[in-house]
Amino acid sequence: MTRSEQSTVIRIAPYHYVHVLNLNTNVTRLVLGPRTFVCMQDEKVVVGPEKMISISPTQYCVIANPVVKGPSGEPILDPSGQVKLKVGDKMYRFHQEPFPLYPGEKLEGDVETLPIVSPNTALRLRALLDFTDTDGQERTVGEEWLFEGPATFYPRKEVEILRIETATVIEPNTALLIRATKDCIDRSGKPRVFGEMWLIRTPGIYLPGAYETVVEHRSAFNITDKVALHLRATEAHVDEFGRTHRRGDEWLITSEDTDSYICSVHEEVVGPVEITVLNSHQFCVIMNPVDDTGVPQLGGKKLVQGEKSFFLKPGESLRSGVEDSFILQHDEGLILRAEERFVDEVLVEVPPAGDSGEPTFKKQSIVRRPGDQWIIRGPLEYVPPIQVEIIHRRKAIPLDRNEGIYVRNTRTGQVRAVIGEAYMLNHEEELWRKRMPPDVIQMLSENKDPLGDRGTYATKRPVPVSDEPLDLTRVVTYQVPHNAAVQIYDYRDKRARVEFGPTLVMLGPEEQFTKLSLSGGKPKRPNMIRSLCLLLGPDFCTDVVVVETADHARLSLQLSYNWQFAVSKNCSQEEAAKLFAVPDFVGDVCKAIASRVRGTVAAVKFDDFHKNSARIIRSSVFGLDENNKVRDRFVFSQNNLHITSIDVQSVEPVDQRTRDALQKSVQLAIEITTNSQEAAARYATC
């Protein structure tokens, strides 16, 4: 066989085919095997040999431009002998005998496996053309539906697969909130409109429909005897208990209704509500209480006493939470004020009829008006009504016989001192803070010893800070030491009184101490010593006085005076008041004595004064009697102060030259005396 003969002879195996083109008519025909095909001169093999397409029971393929077949299944030819094609169309072919592709047909893609839909899943399908489904249902363009498993899906040209939908598990005490994306009929056969939402509560598997979407999973709220659920209606509806609610209504779900609760689509959870528990000694006031019809009484109040437990209803609140009742002891009381008019029931003690009987109590009605105040005293347990406000809790103030407090009547303004008894302020009284000068408060706080701390007053020291500041609501007391006196002035009665020590002075509401500001230091300077009490002596004071003699010698004298006040503790108040007639008796005494000494020394020469300084100073201060003798004291009649003695401690010249000359003269006198004594001794030995 020649080469040309080999090219025109084609051996077609079984289940294979070729496409032969007639070059004269330009018509392509299909030739199936098995056979040996001899190609004529006017023919040409354009396709093949190709293997026929084989599809298993689980596969399918898509043929583009399929041939048109007649009723018998044979392809229809046009007048030229070419097979007719549905150009632009597609055909899905499933399991069948192997088949060839006619001229013009194409295999789109590969042979693929049929989609298998698992249990609890579905294919979301959409119609591309209007058609009648295999179950006889009419489908329109754009319509979507689900093909649910378990099953095998056979694709068709009128349908496209959008995605795989998976079922949702609904556990016990949970629910699915479903919303309709289009008017549809749900799985229970109930028609739903666009946007409508409903709950699926049945436990198990739920596969949303084609026009359903899962909004959220809702879990049940556990409701116990101690916790309730506060709900609010978002739309008017009837709940699962058959109760009608309007939009905005609020209510409670308690354990009496159910053990667990899932909110419906028209409800929202405001929050859990804890139970309010009151014991036998507790109470609470509910604001805006809800009446029996469920309507809150805005502005109202309701008193609830224990033992009791309850849930606050929507709109209710506690005024001050759970409060303890007021348990008053025998020394305690409560100040009350009425906010509204009401009738108060009080227990009044009725004395016994006989000597051996016990007192009884009866109720008495008292009308309280708004603004009225009163006090109740213990021992008792008190729960205030809603018309009563607690102003203050009072406790009796225990007072010793040397202790007291200042009390002011708020109605009359009168202030008085209560001393030596346990006292409880009533509803018209308050503690009054006594007004005192700051320096007096400082002296009382420092608590210095007027006698032992005399020398420290002139020293600049920081003011000590007391751990317990002075309480001016307590009666101010001062311990007057022995041989001292204190003057107290009453500004209301405009009179003064003097107290002699040792004693404890207690100030009245309008009384103040007479402050003493005495001179101190050497030489004396004013306002160096501050004190509240006056020492009566005997005592001494030292001063430095500069004098000038007749021959103009200036000398510095350091003098010490002994003084005392000549007054009896049993004297009258008029005599005692003389003690405080001179505010600064130290400065007055020192000035008076210094004046006398200067006047006398000015008439004496230095030599005479140097020899007789003590006698000259004593005579100048005390003076001479009718016998020309020095008197024994110098008396200040205005305050009965007596100067009993004067000690000249030192005499020093102020001028340096005078001091040197005096020192030389003293040394010379000592030498003369020493030499004379030595000469006398030598003479005695001869």
Averaged pLDDT of the chain? 88
Q: What percent of the chain stands above pLDDT 90?
A: 51
- Where exactly are the structural domains of the chain? 1-50, 52-114, 434-518, 525-662
**CATH code for residues 1-50:** 2.30.30.570
Cα 225 to chain center, whole Å? 31
The DSSP-derived string for 255-301 is TTT-SEE---TTEEEEEEEEPEEE-TTEEEEEES-B-TTS-B-TT-E
What pLDDT digit, counting tens, does each position of 632-666 carry?
889 998 999 999 999 998 888 887 776 777 677 76
Domain 52-114: which topology? SH3 type barrels. (2.30.30)
- Kindly report the number of other CB atoms within 10 A of residue 66's CB atom: 21
Better-scored residue on pLDDT, 541 or 355: 541
CA dist., res. 334 & res. 355, Å (int):
32
State whether CATH 3.30.479.30 applies to domain 525-662: yes
- For residues 220 and 260, the answer to whether their CB atoms sit within 8 Å is yes
Question: Which residue type occupies 529?
Answer: I
pLDDT of residue 642: 94
Backbone angles phi, psi at 6, to 5 degrees: -65, -35
- For residues 165 and 122, the answer to whether their CB atoms sit within 8 Å is yes
pLDDT, average across residues 458-483: 75
pLDDT of residue 12: 87
Q: pLDDT class for 455, splitting at 50, 70, 90?
A: low
pLDDT, average across residues 529-540: 89
Q: pLDDT class for 452, splitting at 50, 70, 90?
A: low
- Kindly report the number of other CB atoms within 10 A of residue 103's CB atom: 20
What residues are paired with 624 via a beta bridge? 630
Angstrom CA distances, 378 to 331, 334, 364, 382, 429, stand at 7, 9, 18, 9, 18
pTM, whole model, 2 decimals?
0.65
pLDDT of residue 3: 42
What pLDDT digit, counting tens, does each position of 550-590 carry?
888 888 899 999 999 998 878 888 889 999 999 899 999 99
pLDDT of residue 296: 86
Instruction: Tell me the Cα Rg of the chain.
Output: 63
pLDDT of residue 346: 81
Domain 52-114 identical in fold to domain 525-662: no
pLDDT of residue 13: 87
Pairing relation of β-strands 106-113 and 59-64?
Answer: antiparallel
CA dist., res. 655 & res. 650, Å (int):
15
CA dist., res. 62 & res. 107, Å (int):
6
pLDDT of residue 1: 39
Least confident of 404-408, 490-494, 626-630: 626-630
Least confident of 189-203, 280-294, 346-360: 346-360
Least confident of 437-441, 450-454, 541-545: 450-454
Architecture of the CATH domain 434-518: Roll (2.30)
